[in-house]
Amino acid sequence: MKLIKTLLAGAAALLVSAQALADINVGISLSLTGPGSGLGIPMQNYYTKVFPQTIAGEKVNLIILDDATDPGKGVANTRRFVTEDKVDVIIGSTITPVAAAMAPVAAEAKTVQLAASPVGVPPGQDGWLFRLPQGNDVMAHPIVQHMKKNGVKTVGFIGYTDAYGELWLKAITAEAEKNGIKVVAAERFARTDTGVTPQALKLTSANPDAILVVATGSGAAMPELALLERGYKGKIYQTHAAATPDLMRIGGKAVDGTFVVSGPAVIAEQLPDSHPSKKLAIDFVTKYEKAMGPNTRNQFAGHAYDSQVALEKAIPMALKKAKPGTPEFRAALKDSLESMGRTIFSHGVMNWTKDDHWGYTNETGVLLKVVNGKFAVEQ
């Protein structure tokens, strides 16, 4: 009898071990404090209140850490994910410099990183890095098309000194030049700056037909307000990192008339029925606002939703090749994301391939206008 009990106990232990091995561990590094908190908190809300507890019949464990909008903290979080938590996939961060700092650690551990910011890394170093947001080139397209349609010939730029700002300056310059528009002034500021008076004065002196502001979350209103306070009368455009309620909350009535490029998720109901993302965008908005309340939808919460869409398609494919918690499964997950084909996201149509970890097309971006404190699709 004692031998039977021992064997049963051993079998139970093996069963528990097998079940633990089947768990899918997801490490999520978000900017929950610091300047990027307006982007990270909506994603955290989605993961804690909406994200499913299982995918393809396997339990999903979410390990959410705050990177405090600090690249060093993002690196520390990533090292913990790959060494202590043994995660199968990493999500984050919401801020480009933080996501960029995380990327080499994830790549070294051969673990997929789903970045929640349009992060660029040197060629050949993004083998394990996939982007949930649209690339800057894709999002610059509708901005420049709108400028061209409205007779804009010259444009000014004010953006962050970091990678996000530089990548956007490169993207808008190239797209503008292709359409006969010249960038006549470019000013930069740090994410931690509390004012941009000198930069605003230089831009208003140059008096371009339009100005593109490149900033994120709650920081996006500050440079625009500085321009308006100094009498700028031209058109002002913002990037998709500013497509959050924080722009209107901080900017107030002053930002009415601002043009903001966005993925389709935040204006789900305004999309035409023919738009491929309308069904999923409405599904995202319905689920998120049921959990968080009316009018809480957010660009970055939409990226969290899209990470679910991607994993729900890729994980079943990877499970056919290996078990979670193994290097083989992590490699299979990468292969699955690269081969899952055309996939509708709430933010557009995605088609990652081995050679393209951005995936979106020029039809993705939607230009919005702030009207009476709300986003409306620009006609």
pLDDT, tens digit, 9 for 90 and up, residues 258-275: 999 988 998 899 988 888
Residue 378 within any structural domain of the chain:
no
- State how many domains the chain has: 2
Q: Is the pLDDT of residue 308 over 50?
A: yes
% of the chain at pLDDT higher than 90: 79
Task: Give tens-digit pLDDT for 59-117.
Answer: 999 999 999 999 999 999 999 999 999 999 999 999 999 999 999 999 999 999 999 99
Residues 195 and 227 in one domain: yes
Task: Answer with the one of 262, 278, 311 that is the final residue of a domain.
Answer: 262
Residues 67 and 152 in one domain: no
Residue 191 within any structural domain of the chain:
yes
Q: What is the DSSP letter of 328?
A: H
Residue 76 within any structural domain of the chain:
yes
Residues 104 and 118 in one domain: yes
The Cα 290–Cα 269 span in angstroms is: 15
Residue 243 within any structural domain of the chain:
yes
Residues 129 and 143 in one domain: no
Residue 129 within any structural domain of the chain:
yes
Q: Is the pLDDT of residue 15 over 70?
A: no
What CATH number did the domain enclosing 79 receive? 3.40.50.2300
The confidence band for 363, taking pLDDT boundaries of 50, 70 and 90, is confident
Residue 273 within any structural domain of the chain:
no
Residues 7 and 124 in one domain: yes
Residues 120 and 17 in one domain: yes
% of the chain at pLDDT higher than 70: 94
Residues 17 and 49 in one domain: yes
Enter the pTM of the model: 0.79
Instruction: State whether the Cα torsion 204-205-207-213 is positive or negative.
Output: negative
Under DSSP, is residue 62 helix (H, G, I), strand (E, B) or coil?
strand
Residues 248 and 292 in one domain: no
Q: Which domain holds residue 31?
A: 2-134+286-350
Residue 375 within any structural domain of the chain:
no
Residue 356 within any structural domain of the chain:
no
E-only strand ranges, the chain: 24-30, 54-55, 58-66, 89-92, 112-115, 129-131, 154-160, 182-189, 210-214, 235-238, 259-262, 343-345, 348-350, 366-371, 374-377
Q: Is the pLDDT of residue 319 over 60?
A: yes
Residues 253 and 185 in one domain: yes
What pLDDT score was predicted for residue 238? 97
What pLDDT score was predicted for residue 98? 96
Task: Give tens-digit pLDDT for 135-154.
Answer: 888 899 999 999 999 999 99
Contact 95, 70 (CB under 8 A): no
Phi, psi of 357 (to 5 degrees): -100, 15
What pLDDT score was predicted for residue 189? 96
Residues 219 and 334 in one domain: no
Residues 114 and 141 in one domain: no
